[in-house]
Amino acid sequence: MGMTRCSSSGCSTRRTSCRRSNSQLAGGCTRRTFSLPESGESLTSVSMLHPLMELRFLFPVFLQEGSGATLELDLEHYVVPTPTAPPNEYPANLAATPASLIQTGALQTNDMLLNDGIQSPSSVSADFDGHSNHKKNTETWATDSSKKIQTSGLVESKSVGTFTPLQKPDGQKGMFIDRGVGSPKLPKSTSACSLASGLGFGSAKTMPEAAGAVAAAAVADRLHGSKEDRKLAIVLVGLPARGKTFTAVKLTRYLRWLGHETRHFNVGKYRRLKHGANLSADFFRDDNPEGIEARNEVAALAMEDMIDWMHGGGQVGIFDATNSTRKRRCMLMKMAEGNCKIIFLETICNDPSIIERNIRLKIQQSPDYADQPDYEAGLQDFMERLMNYEKVYEPVGEGSYIKMIDMVKGQGGQLQVNNISGYLPGRIVFFLVNSHLTPRPILLTRHGESLHNVRGRVGGDTVLSEAGELYAKKLANFIEKRLKSEKTATIWTSTLQRTILTASPILGFPKIQWRALDEINSGVCDGMTYEEIKKTMPEEFESRRKDKLRYRYPRGESYLDVIQRLEPVIIELERQRAPVVVISHQAVLRALYAYFADRPLREVPDIEMPLHTIIEIQMGVTGVEEKRYKLMD
């Protein structure tokens, strides 16, 4: 196999073949291709003189990490540790700690139960609300929650008050869709939360501040609605293995991200703490009066805890149980009278393959079967338990309700709504109708390094630095390898040129620009360094340092404002069934990542979001998983 030299101007590389286009003749050879081994030769038998074996000597610049645009064939080479991975455990374990069982001394403290994601009684006293930075209500827990004096502590709603229909990407490359919230140079407006406090709601907490128009609907609900309507209980209904807990977890995460004080109460968790985790199917029989009484007891305890939590300032409780009979639901409605408004959320699934998958996950992950090594024995027990529930199951037909019928796949299902009104219930319906559990990856990455990054300046609309241009090429290479089998993936960018330039080398996928993905608007501070801000506007610098979450740049935005304008992005990410690559900015990606990782709002401004790193979020029936790739420093 003879070697030849390329005759292109400026190219002295030895190789077996060099194909040149007209554009290459002007600037030298830019593509080097090698012939395959002769017939009968294998890669293992080819001489080291063969060009396939001399790649590392011929083109070291492409193979040294960080020095070229080509990546290693194995993308796992670029995986780096995740600083704060989302919790990877059985979803029911992430529900609220059963405070009543701890306070009444009914908690069984054997190791098996404490490994159920629950703290021991001695370690729980400080933080009843794991997702709140506020002090818990310290008054004594009462058995009859309806007789307790209700304390003030309303949580101000800050959801986006818009039901603008979402446009489905039509595959057009370079398409621009203005999904923003107005001019990036809007004057600073008074927040509706300030208005709410002036109206004398008597809130004992410092509420997240949202843009005035955003919170107007929520304020109106509080002004004109009844007292009990200010607190909302979403009561799950459905047979086992129908996706109730996964739906509860997703809804809890969404409402928390919007700023609503939301807590997930899982009755199964109460049952395991009260009666143990090794109960047989006989415990769930409809002709077992002791079992029925025990199950109603733990349901009542969970409901009382939820109402008690609402009296202390909680806004939305997600009550997760089968609640499969009218008698049980009537008990809950009676307990809720004068305390909160109940909306039943029934999950119905008729797809045998999905039910079978859910049953398998249940047996493999549920603490109920943690001590059962025999899968078949666990399966037989669960099927008997399921039959016991099916005998007495009564579909929801009373009160306010939402029925999700075969909605798991995100297509072909139905969402039935009855007697639903109000701002927050409307947001919940809008979220549910757009969410599903189809597995797919979402890739989050900042743009390549920009000239403002190099100079330490905030905002702006500068081009990429040399390092940023190199990252754009590496990113395109990564996307080509990672999504090579995904023909329906899309690339989302902001409208700022540093994200558009980062996406430009990516070929073969539609690209959509979102104004909602633009970086946080730094207002009059745009283009300044933090040292310049500190010197010329020391009061603004100090205000930002004290509270980055709520601080709003003069004529600009706060992190909470960014979260508000990102709600349509979250809804569309939930609705998408194919992979999505989001190329955006630090503040925006912090807010998006906080949603998927279920991070408290107060942590959003400090979430690590480095340059030239890809965060892969895997969404599916098992929850949210994360992996990070660092392509270059």
Binding site for substrate, by residue number, is 446-453, 498
Do 319 and 299 contact (CB within 8 A), yes or no? no
Residue type, position 623, single letter = G
> String of b and e for 202-220 (b: at least 16 CB within 10 Å)?
ebebebbbbbebbbbbbbe
What is the rounded radius of gyration, in angstroms, for the C-alpha atoms of the chain?
28
Do 378 and 371 contact (CB within 8 A), yes or no? no
State the catalytic residue, choosing from 320, 346, 561, 626: 320
Q: Residue 85 has what DSSP assignment?
A: P
For 346, phi then psi, to 5°, come to -100, 130
Residue type, position 145, single letter = S
Residue 92, classed as helix, strand or coil, is helix
Least Cα distance to 116 among 239, 270, 235 occurs for 270
Give kind and range of the element (H or E) at residue 623.
strand 623-630
Least Cα distance to 243 among 364, 406, 363, 87 occurs for 406
Calpha distance 365→622 (Å, rounded): 10
* Strand 316-320 with 623-630, pairing: unpaired
Give kind and range of the element (H or E) at residue 513.
strand 511-514
Residue type, position 82, single letter = T
State the catalytic residue, choosing from 6, 29, 193, 349: 349
The residues, ordered by sequence, that sit 6+ positions from 544 with a Cβ below 8 Å of its Cβ are 551, 553
Provide, for the chain, the percentages of residues in helix, strand and coil under a 3-state DSSP scheme, each rounded to the nearest 5.
40, 15, 45
Is 531 a catalytic site residue? no
C-alpha 97, offset from chain centre: 22
What are 601's two structure tokens?
A: 């709002």
State the catalytic residue, choosing from 447, 518, 561, 598: 447
Is 519 a catalytic site residue? yes
Do 481 and 71 contact (CB within 8 A), yes or no? yes
Query: Residue 77: is it exposed, middle or buried by C-beta count within 10 angstroms (0-12/13-18/19+)?
Result: exposed
Do 25 and 9 contact (CB within 8 A), yes or no? yes
Do 215 and 380 contact (CB within 8 A), yes or no? no
For 153, phi then psi, to 5°, come to 140, 45
Calpha distance 630→633 (Å, rounded): 7
Residue 176, classed as helix, strand or coil, is strand
State the catalytic residue, choosing from 129, 209, 308, 519: 519
What residues are designated binding site?
Answer: 446-453, 498
Calpha distance 408→419 (Å, rounded): 23
Which residues form the catalytic set? 320, 349, 447, 519
